[in-house]
Amino acid sequence: MYKKTILNNGLRIITVPQKESKTATVLVLVGTGSKYETKEISGISHFLEHMFFKGTKRFKKPKDVAEFLDKIGGDFNAFTGEEYTGYYAKVSAEHLDIAFEWVSDIFLNSIIPLKEVEKERGVIIEEINMYKNNPMMYIGQLWKEVLYGDQPAGWDIAGTKETVSSITRKNILNYISSQYNAKNTIVCLAGNINEEEAIQKTKKYFNKTKIKKSKEKVKVIERQKEPQALFFYKDTEQTNLALGVRSYNMTHKDKYVCDLLAIILGGMMSSRLFEEIREKLGVAYYVKTYNEADTDTGSIVTFVGVDNLKLEKVIKTILKEYKKLTEKRVNEKELKKAKDYMKGKMILNLESSHSKAYFYATQELLKKEILTIEDIFDKIDKVTGEDILRVAKDIFKNKNLNLALIGPNKKQYNNLLKL
């Protein structure tokens, strides 16, 4: 069970008591990310996330920020996405006040020191280099680029070396003023908490959150009339690929159909593509299919790291499995396995106070409604084999196909993109 409280300034508080837990989490989630940026300041959401660890009015140095929670063994971090940025502290339940002090201080009182801005540029540029030098990581960004191109949905969350090099302290302060406000913020408290006390603590620690209207994100433009491919040359011993289709956003009525469809294809070790590519062909170590859904975009994509010489065979195998889902209804046994897998993973993933906080806060922020795990299970159980077949026929079409490749083979594979 959870409780939602809205303060007079518009700040939303979500409390999720978990009495059996020995931990408590304070998560602050802000409704802004890379989709809210302009090209000139691409990466500023992520840059700001870094800067909140660089000093506050109370914790003067980065070491002071970290040491406050290190001394109690707290787990703390931040993350930036396309539509949100989050800051959290997870602590032993008796240290909840310390978590409140820390999260509220970095969120409301960060001073963004100029010298730290200049230093952090180098850190972020090395982060960009790290991802670009790791094909298994970078293929995800290339997938976004082939789908959305030169618009916020297609940009790297971290920005580019050029934009990171040019973002100023003034840019960052203006961005905070524009996007970080009460109505755009959720504070979620999960774990071994007293609900009413937690709400009162939130009022105490976050009463200075500004009241201001934030900037809306740019609408995503999706135009695709034929298959698309994007190739990034890298002299590697294997090719990393992303092959998939556009699908539906997270509020679409068939969202859970897409989730199950992805699991059947490549979501588990006994899935169709894992069996075909890894177990039968023996040409890849990792094979994974995801349903990726945001508020305004969606895609089903298979990621594979494959033997360079077997790339064409793997592309054909993936497309063959996609097509099979449009021709024959999934049997009840396979569908039940996918449902049980999805529900089991959700239960395991929601054991910790941190994951519970993220689960409830992101729903409230992105969908403006919260489904309990029981609500979601009910929707999963209602999916039929006919639903899988219907959705597969709708999304697995030649004009929806997209391919991203990282590797040494410069051969063009556009001609293979047909079902």
Beta strands in 65-154 (DSSP E): 75-80, 85-92
Whether the Cβ atoms of residue 289 and residue 266 lie closer than 8 Å to each other: yes
Calculate the dihedral angle through the C-alpha atoms of 359, 361, 364, 369, rounding to the nearest 10 degrees: 40
Q: How many residues in total does the chain contain?
A: 419
Closest CA to 187 of 209, 165, 217, 163: 209
> Can you tell me the distance from the alpha carbon of 318 to that of 271, in angstroms, rounded to the nearest whole number?
12
Question: Which residue of the set 49, 83, 120, 364 is catalytic?
Answer: 49
DSSP SS3 for 17: strand
> Can you tell me the distance from the alpha carbon of 284 to that of 311, in angstroms, rounded to the nearest whole number?
10
Catalytic residue status for 49: yes
Q: In which element (H, E) is residue 239 found?
A: strand 238-246
Output DSSP code: residue 1.
-
Residue 119: CA atoms inside 13 Å, Cβ hemisphere, count?
Answer: 10
Whether the Cβ atoms of residue 405 and residue 230 lie closer than 8 Å to each other: yes
Phi first, then psi, for residue 125 (nearest 5°) are -60, -40
Q: In which element (H, E) is residue 45 found?
A: helix 44-51
Catalytic residue ranges: 49
